[in-house]
Structure 1
Amino acid sequence: MKKLLAICFVLLFVAVQAQIKKVEPAFWWKGMTESKLQILLYGDKIASYQVELSEGLAIEKVEKVENPNYLFVTVDTDKIDGRFFTLYLKKAGRTVDSYKYELKERQANSRDRRSFSSKDVVYLIMPDRFANGDESNDSVKELTEKADRSNPNGRHGGDLRGIINNLDYLHSLGATALWLTPANQDNEKRTSYHGYAQTDLYQIDRRYGTNEEYVELSNELQKRGMLLIQDYVTNHWGISHWMIQDLPSRDWIHQFEDGEGAYGFKRSNYRTTTQLDPNASDIDTKEALNGWFDTTMPDLNQSNPFLLNYLKQNAIWWIEYANLGGMRVDTYPYNNKEAMAEWVKAITKEYPHFNVVGEAWMYSPAHIAYWQKDSPIAAIDGYNSNLPSVMDFTLYTDLSSALKEQESWDKGMVKIYNALSNDLLYTNVNNIMVFFENHDTERWNEIFESNPKAYQMALTLVSTIRGIPQIYYGSEIGMRGKKSLGDADIRHDFPGGWKEDSTNAFISDKRTVVQKEFYDITSKILNWRKSKDVVHNGKTTHYMPENGVYVYFRYNSKDRIMVVLNNSEQTQKLSLSRFAQNLEGSIEGTDVVSGNRVDLKADFLEVSAKTSLILEIQ
């Protein structure tokens, strides 16, 4: 009987000790600008227990929500001495569970960390499709979707170790910052490789690696003078996220009374201009912002104060933990804009120089500029996003059509000219991201059938105009893909990232002739750009395109460069007297790519058909 009672006591003790199932964030840091920390405690009916801290320490606040499985405990970290304190869960004065909480020491100069800027070239990678450096994590027992490289929409096995193994390739290419599509756990049943339906915001997906490997990647980048940019999603989570499966409150996500299924699903109408349209109807606005991206992506309600604080702290946790050099925020205008202004402000309060770029996929420069910090356009309705950077979707949209169209009053290269003529709308024109493709678009080399001249023209443009250039993995070796065939076709595996691949574009002498031509162009321009302050921060003068030729200058007090884009099918002779404003006193220019010298004292400059030039002026 005594033995039976002892066994029962042990079983009861173990059951009682399991009350705290999750603590988020699991640890924090001392010396943060914001000393108030809100800790989420999760467990069965945890709200029926009392919470106390280590002896002599006071809790600022304990808050309950609709779901009794949650408690939100606020502590003031400035009032805690030492590295550790203990959270006690009590019932009737008796401790039933506890958690030893750590306050780590911050890295030196963490607050004033460097972030990505116009000095950088951002290289975008989908981790699952870049390189498989650790085959042991291709499939994980506890995670639903297993590796199947034969399935275009499945997991292929690319991971963090594969990226770490190829950092020297990226460094040699001339990239200075790395943007990964989301690497946190995405445990959806299908198409989980893209990572945008996250199911745990504090864990790297184990099919990519571990949290420690993510930190290793960041550290290895910094050894090479490079930065890690995290892709952050505030608009939605995956429906398999543990908090979605047990909602803290009904208003944690947006639900529609006339919606479908248990969660009241209704798809977004995707008309985010309603966020700033003074004539927008209430129903259109609601369906745009509260509608879901997809059936597996519940739309988060950022106006819920507990959710908003959770997102603030999670973002800051990753910046501090992984020593991040920036963030890119997915689907920015789909969020509650007032809440997002708070979210960004919390980050930049903690890290004053930290850059955050928002994906505002809109087609009018005024609509895009609205989302940049201190925008006078947004000020019309009393709004300030606090968002430092936006993406230039106007330029992206116009660039491919400009190069394909016959020149006329409103077609051809004048579209690029017009795109840049809207620069007055941006409060910081040097801090906008410029690109000609990404993980959601048709591959540039598909549009132009792997034409190296068309590629060089696009690369020349984004590398020399104002802003932060971003290129997409594989562009530099001529990779192709049709959006019309589905997202998988624009997200092919990088050749050489898997041991069974027949070619290996990571290694110079194993590249095909086509891969080598594209790589050499890219490497030449990007490595030249690294040290050119005249490109990073210089002023711009551009000239109205004539005969399919667009010319612009970047200049500062010390240096000048002349960029020529001849999209014509014929060789063009440019009268240099037309550019006297920028060429006065010039003797010659040196072509960055070919090294050829150009006489700028001559009357004319002859430019071959479908050619781009970057001339450093002496």
Structure 2
Amino acid sequence: MKIKMYLSLLLFFTTIINSSNFEVDKIEPPNWWSGMKWNEVQLMVYGKNIKDAEVSVEGENVKLIKVHNAESSSYLFLDLAIEEAGTVNINFTKAGNSVNYKYEILERESPTESHKGFSNNDVLYLIFPDRFADGDTTNNYLFNEKEEFSFRDLNGRHGGDIQGMIDNLDYLKELGVSTIWSTPVLENNMYMSYHGYAATDLYKVDPRQGTNELYKKFVEEAHKKGLKIIYDHVTNHVGVNHPWTNDLPFSDWYNGSVENHHTTRHNKIAYLDIHGDNESVEFTTKGWFTSYMPDLNQRNPFLAKYIIQNTIWWIEYAGIDGIREDTYPYNYQPFMAEWAKVLLGEYPNLNIVGEIWTGVPSFLAKYQGNSFFPAAVNSHLPALTDFALRDAFVRYLEGSRGIYDIYETIAQDFLYANPNNLVTFIDNHDIDRGLYAADTNYTKFKITLQILLTTRGIPKLFYGSEIGLAGGGHHGRIREAFPGGFPFSNQNAFEEIGRDSVQNDLFNFTKKLIDLRNSNSALKTGKLIQFPPYDDVYIYFREDDENTFMIIINDNEETKEIDLSFVDHKLKGFNKAEAFLGNHNLTLGEKPSLKMNSKCGEIFLLK
């Protein structure tokens, strides 16, 4: 009996000691700003035994609205109303012990060169940082016990980093692009960590990429050179080594668990299928991409606020201009609609492009904000990745379909709320490069580049396409190292003298197209008028109040006299045509005539 009483007392006092021995480790977001529309911020407090702690704040610049316990004793959530900038003393008290935490509310910087968005006035350039340029070799071998791949393995780190991007901004200016989209640079203390899409800290840059401060400098340096930055954001999942995994704030923070989850079936169309079953949608939106990427449950209101605030924080902290949202259809769509609405309310000039990986225009179109098609919610998503046009490009490059396929895809633009806000591309970091699809047929690749940079939409280039990188068949080869970006490079393609004749020819061709687009509004924002290809000849016009351009693609294997009779009415009133890509001579008048070389394109400015 005495032994039982002793054990009971021991357990009682041990519980008191443990509950009073509490800690506050960190708070996210790490700071906030005054003057924001989102002026009621929810702080996520990480610690030890902090459940049921009493909380008070000192400072006239904020008000504590409510304290929320999580299911786990390691977290608290604090709702604060922000009024002015300043330091806030947050006091935590439990069982007679106190912890003070200083939290900063900063004045907004809001420089005029930030948050400008992106549009069809721009040319985007996608960088995969680890494979672009190694600007700081001292951070290459930082310890990561979960990596498992050796340095320079196809699936391993190569050493590219933020400093490497900063070092080569002048190269991008020379090429003529206006906007950089880099894949994620957040901490990925993970298996196969080089790709960056399995974050283990959503507020911290991976130390092998640099620091938060260096990322902010990257944005600032880009802005100084007139370049804009798109931030690659992931709402759908985190890496399995995120601290949440071993101590979830709430049991429904993830969809499933490491031990008990299902893999998504990638039925992205299920959400839009009017005959579909809700279980099909649930299976897609609640499924994990892989066993090492836990799926986030945005139905949890605390996680939903966390994600919105995390996105706002990076936009405000770094001054970025746009968002590319990864794996968009795999998320809980009512939440994504609210997420986009909040961001655009806070930053009206911002643009957001959602990765919608489907080549079917009708399904793709329904994800765009203000869609013509009935939907449960308005997505408020301004821009989409144009996988439909990309697929048509690839079918042309592979030879399975002809130039008519490209025309037919664009002819379905009536489905979109805004076809000019589609991000067009030939390739990216997840799919075989265009030249790989073309079996290194540079002629066909140039034709595709010409269409990409002269048709409607927001064109995007994948790093190295301009010098002929042609990797495919494996993600590690698609994401090959840019020559000249690494100590192991045997040439420096960032400089003209370091490129061979083939690389320089393609670089100069790409630059010429971009320069022509940049200097002529008709090629960026002008009306597109296209004609059905006939006899493997595709003709379309871009026109505005200033200029009219006629673009012609001769996809025949031989030199051809081009039949212009069906576009003759578009040539009336013009007396001269200036060719930009070759020495083609277009004669205007009663009977316009043009002879074009085989397998080539031309751009004419009509005067």
Fold in common (TM above 0.5): yes
Read off the aligned partner of 1:91 and give its amino acid letter: K
- Of 127, 144, 152 in structure 1, the residue corresponding to residue 154 of structure 2 is 152
Q: 1:262 to 1:147 in 2, by over 3 A?
A: closer
- Of 242, 261, 271 in structure 1, the residue corresponding to residue 267 of structure 2 is 271
Partner deviation per Cα, 1:105-164 (whole Å, 9 max, x = no partner) = 112466983111111111001100001110000122366438844411101100011111
Corresponding residue number in structure 2 for 1:349: 345
- Of 375, 390, 400 in structure 1, the residue corresponding to residue 384 of structure 2 is 390
Partners of 2:427 and 2:56 in 1: CA distance: 53
Greater mean alpha carbon deviation, residues 504-513 or residues 262-271? 262-271
Partners of 1:318 and 1:511 in 2: CA distance: 37
- Of 137, 161, 180 in structure 1, the residue corresponding to residue 182 of structure 2 is 180
Q: 1:199 to 1:212 in 2, by over 3 A?
A: same
Corresponding residue number in structure 2 for 1:252: 253
Is contact 1:374-1:384 (8 Å) kept?
A: yes
Q: 1:128 to 1:82 in 2, by over 3 A?
A: closer
Partners of 1:490 and 1:55 in 2: CA distance: 53
Partners of 1:17 and 1:52 in 2: CA distance: 19
Partners of 2:467 and 2:439 in 1: CA distance: 13
Q: Does 1:66 align with 2:60?
A: no
- Of 587, 599, 602 in structure 1, the residue corresponding to residue 587 of structure 2 is 599
Partner deviation per Cα, 1:521-552 (whole Å, 9 max, x = no partner) = 11111122113211221111111101111110
Corresponding residue number in structure 1 for 2:10: none
Q: 1:82 to 1:32 in 2, by over 3 A?
A: closer
Read off the aligned partner of 2:50 and give its amino acid letter: I
Structure 1 segment 159-198 matched on structure 2, within 5 A: 159-188=161-190, 190-198=191-199
SS at match of 2:414: helix
What TM-score results when the alignment is normalised by the length of structure 1? 0.92
* Overall identity of the aligned pairs, in %: 37
Is contact 2:126-2:183 (8 Å) kept?
A: yes
1:500: Cα distance to partner? 2.8
Q: 1:311 to 1:606 in 2, by over 3 A?
A: same
Structure 1 segment 108-507 matched on structure 2, within 5 A: 108=110, 113-141=115-143, 144-145=146-147, 148-188=150-190, 190-255=191-256, 262-377=258-373, 380-405=374-399, 411-483=401-473, 486-507=474-495
SS at match of 1:349: helix
Partners of 2:129 and 2:603 in 1: CA distance: 33
Corresponding residue number in structure 1 for 2:99: 97
Is contact 2:582-2:602 (8 Å) kept?
A: no
Q: 1:482 to 1:141 in 2, by over 3 A?
A: closer
- Of 514, 528, 549 in structure 2, the residue corresponding to residue 526 of structure 1 is 514
Partners of 2:326 and 2:425 in 1: CA distance: 16
Corresponding residue number in structure 2 for 1:50: 54
Read off the aligned partner of 1:284 and give its amino acid letter: S
Partner deviation per Cα, 1:269-288 (whole Å, 9 max, x = no partner) = 10111111011123322211
Read off the aligned partner of 1:187 and give its amino acid letter: N
Partner deviation per Cα, 1:12-67 (whole Å, 9 max, x = no partner) = x9x98971112101111110012101111011121131111005653111111211
Partners of 2:187 and 2:581 in 1: CA distance: 42
Partners of 1:207 and 1:435 in 2: CA distance: 29
Q: How many positions carry a matched residue from both structures?
A: 588
Greater mean alpha carbon deviation, residues 594-603 or residues 114-123? 594-603
Corresponding residue number in structure 2 for 1:3: none
Read off the aligned partner of 1:573 and give its amino acid letter: E
Q: 1:16 to 1:453 in 2, by over 3 A?
A: farther
Partners of 1:359 and 1:218 in 2: CA distance: 22
Q: CA RMSD in A?
A: 2.0
SS at match of 2:76: strand
Partner deviation per Cα, 1:401-429 (whole Å, 9 max, x = no partner) = 134447xxxx4221111111111111111
Read off the aligned partner of 1:204 and give its amino acid letter: V
Greater mean alpha carbon deviation, residues 57-66 or residues 125-134? 57-66
Corresponding residue number in structure 2 for 1:83: 86
SS at match of 1:20: strand
Is contact 1:158-1:208 (8 Å) kept?
A: yes
Is contact 2:200-2:239 (8 Å) kept?
A: yes
Q: Which runs of 5+ in 1 are unaligned?
A: 1-12, 256-260
Greater mean alpha carbon deviation, residues 383-392 or residues 48-57? 48-57
Is contact 1:112-1:353 (8 Å) kept?
A: no
Is contact 1:138-1:146 (8 Å) kept?
A: no
Partners of 1:457 and 1:66 in 2: CA distance: 58
Is contact 2:586-2:593 (8 Å) kept?
A: no
SS at match of 1:422: helix
Partners of 1:20 and 1:82 in 2: CA distance: 23
Q: 1:55 to 1:574 in 2, by over 3 A?
A: closer
SS at match of 1:283: helix
